[in-house]
């Protein structure tokens, strides 16, 4: 079994590319993790996710503890066997999902008591139970339970929330069961307050984790504040450990974060957009439902090798969505996941060539230029 370790391969400014070795195989970084919240990347088979270029997927503690239950997953041989994905899996601790419940949860020093969105039943999630659930799931990468601070938050409010998350992080570290090739990641918090972000990073390093995430962003603060917060956080994270920006995001967000030294990303955007008719292309996003696509014989993206682009026209995809056929969201989801993986491959290649800035400028110029209507 492989030891969990990060190996730096190339650097271009603050950006880096590397390999994360895990018990379930390697992860090439920078990496984008398709989101399989309930043990499935919606609309895609595991082999299709792999063929799109993904090395790792994300599932969610909150959803799986409610349905089907972590003990049931453990009884089926763990999450890898249960969902048919033998590669690495990262499980979000559920902190963000509980945060989003707002009036349906109560946070105390012990943990969080919340009402299930499924049946209204009450549940408790503590640092210790979050570790136990993710152990049952057999997560390759386990995330600590944290309190996702709302935005905007005063300095006093953000400090209290961050310090509680650091106390929970220590409890998670103590409850986590180490295994070769498995990892526990800490999560830096502190809102958009630069001094709190540095203090959070230092507190996590003092506890000691296998990787470090930046949480509490992409919650409405805007790209400028996001990048400013990363500038105040990433330099204080260890250089020999993976760095993960949670819940981000759009291609331009990812490119800017990679330039600041982030290695890992996740977001529901490519899959959720695929289900609702939005496609990501090298010339920006399109709404395949729009009438201008109904007679367009071109592929969605002429530079994409996914099944949607290699086998079907925009006109056909438009037809599927207008008729409510399930194949439409399946094809568009597969395309979006492939597009995101192509972006990550482009970033890795550019870092390896020492030209991240040039690649990024060329990509973003085309991406922001917009889609070209048919002649």
Same domain, 260 and 277: no
Task: Express each pLDDT in 152-211 by its tens digit.
Answer: 999 999 999 999 999 999 999 999 999 999 999 999 999 999 999 999 999 999 999 999
Q: Taking residues 328-336, what's their average pLDDT?
A: 98
Say if residues 275 and 336 touch (Cβ distance below 8 Å): no
Alpha carbons 261 and 212: distance in angstroms, whole number: 12
- Helix, strand and coil content of the chain, in percent to the nearest 5, comes to 45, 20, 40
DSSP letters of 96-137?
HHHHHTGGGEEE-SS-EEEE-TTT--EEEE-HHHHHHHHHHH
Give the CA-trace dihedral at 323, 325, 329, 335, to 10 degrees: -90
Question: Residue 184: enclosing H or E segment and its boundaries?
Answer: strand 183-188
Bridge partner residues of 106 (DSSP): 113
For residue 350, the enclosing domain spans 273-369
Tokens standing for residue 188: 């830096």
Q: What is the 3-state secondary structure (H, E, C) of 233-259?
A: HHHHCCCCCCEEECCCCCHHHHHHHHC
Pairing of strands 57-60, 89-92: parallel
Question: Residue 198: enclosing H or E segment and its boundaries?
Answer: helix 194-207
The three-class DSSP label of residue 91 is strand
Same domain, 259 and 181: yes
Pairing of strands 105-107, 112-115: antiparallel
Write the CA distances from 73 to 66, 162, 324, integer angstroms.
11, 32, 33
Same domain, 123 and 147: yes
The three-class DSSP label of residue 16 is strand
pLDDT band at 149 (very low <50, low <70, confident <90, very high): confident
Using only C-alpha atoms, what is the Rg of the chain?
A: 20
Same domain, 248 and 355: no
Same domain, 26 and 94: yes
Q: Taking residues 106-120, what's their average pLDDT?
A: 90
Bridge partner residues of 103 (DSSP): none
Which residue among 197, 232, 267 closes a domain?
267
Same domain, 160 and 277: no
Same domain, 230 and 209: yes
User: Is 375 part of a structural domain of the chain?
Assistant: no
Alpha carbons 149 and 77: distance in angstroms, whole number: 35
Same domain, 325 and 242: no
Residue 225's nearest CA partner among 248, 268, 193, 195 is 193
Residue 305's nearest CA partner among 335, 330, 274, 345 is 335
Q: Taking residues 78-94, what's their average pLDDT?
A: 96
For the annotated catalytic residues, the residue numbers are 92, 266
User: Is 126 part of a structural domain of the chain?
Assistant: yes
Above 70 in pLDDT, residue 103? no
Instruction: Flag the least confident range among 103-112, 198-207, 213-222, 262-271.
Output: 103-112
Task: Express each pLDDT in 248-262 by its tens digit.
Answer: 999 999 999 999 999
Which residue among 219, 243, 267 closes a domain?
267
Say if residues 200 and 189 touch (Cβ distance below 8 Å): yes
Which residue among 232, 267, 302 closes a domain?
267
Above 90 in pLDDT, residue 374? no
Number of domains in the chain: 2
User: Is 374 part of a structural domain of the chain?
Assistant: no
CATH of the domain at 35: 3.20.20.105
pLDDT band at 312 (very low <50, low <70, confident <90, very high): very high
């Amino acid at each position: 079994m492989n030891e969990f370790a990060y190996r730096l391969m190339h650097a271009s400014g603050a950006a880096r590319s590397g390999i994360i070795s895990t018990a379930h195989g390697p992860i090439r970084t920078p990496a984008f993790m398709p989101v399989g919240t309930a043990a499935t990347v919606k609309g895609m088979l595991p082999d299709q996710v792999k063929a799109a270029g993904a090395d790792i997927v994300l599932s969610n503690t909150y959803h799986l503890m409610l349905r089907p239950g972590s003990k049931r997953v453990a009884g089926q041989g763990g999450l890898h066997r249960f969902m048919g994905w033998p590669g690495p899996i990262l499980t979000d601790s559920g902190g963000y999902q509980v945060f989003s419940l707002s009036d349906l949860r109560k946070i105390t020093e012990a943990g969080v008591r919340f009402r299930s969105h499924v049946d209204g039943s009450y549940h408790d999630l503590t640092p210790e139970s979050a570790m136990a659930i993710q152990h049952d799931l057999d997560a390759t990468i386990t995330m600590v339970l944290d309190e996702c601070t709302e935005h905007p938050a005063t300095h006093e409010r953000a400090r209290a929330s961050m310090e509680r998350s650091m106390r929970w992080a220590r409890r998670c570290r103590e409850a986590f069961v180490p295994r070769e090739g498995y990892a526990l990641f800490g999560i830096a918090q502190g809102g958009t307050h630069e001094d709190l972000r540095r203090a959070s990073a230092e507190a996590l390093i003092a506890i000691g984790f296998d990787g470090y995430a930046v949480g509490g962003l992409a919650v409405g603060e805007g790209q400028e504040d996001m990048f400013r917060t990363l500038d105040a956080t990433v330099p204080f994270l260890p250089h020999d450990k993976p760095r993960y920006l949670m819940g981000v995001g759009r291609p331009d967000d990812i490119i800017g974060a990679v330039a600041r030294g982030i290695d890992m990303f996740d977001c529901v955007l490519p899959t959720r957009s695929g289900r609702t008719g939005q496609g990501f292309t090298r010339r920006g996003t399109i709404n395949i439902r729009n009438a201008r696509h109904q007679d367009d014989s071109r592929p969605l993206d002429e530079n994409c090798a996914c099944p949607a682009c290699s086998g079907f026209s925009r006109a056909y995809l438009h037809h599927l969505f207008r008729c409510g056929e399930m194949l439409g969201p399946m094809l568009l989801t597969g395309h979006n996941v492939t597009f995101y993986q192509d972006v990550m491959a482009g970033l890795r290649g550019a870092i390896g060539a020492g030209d991240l800035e040039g690649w990024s400028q060329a990509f973003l110029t085309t991406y922001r230029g917009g889609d070209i209507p048919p002649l």
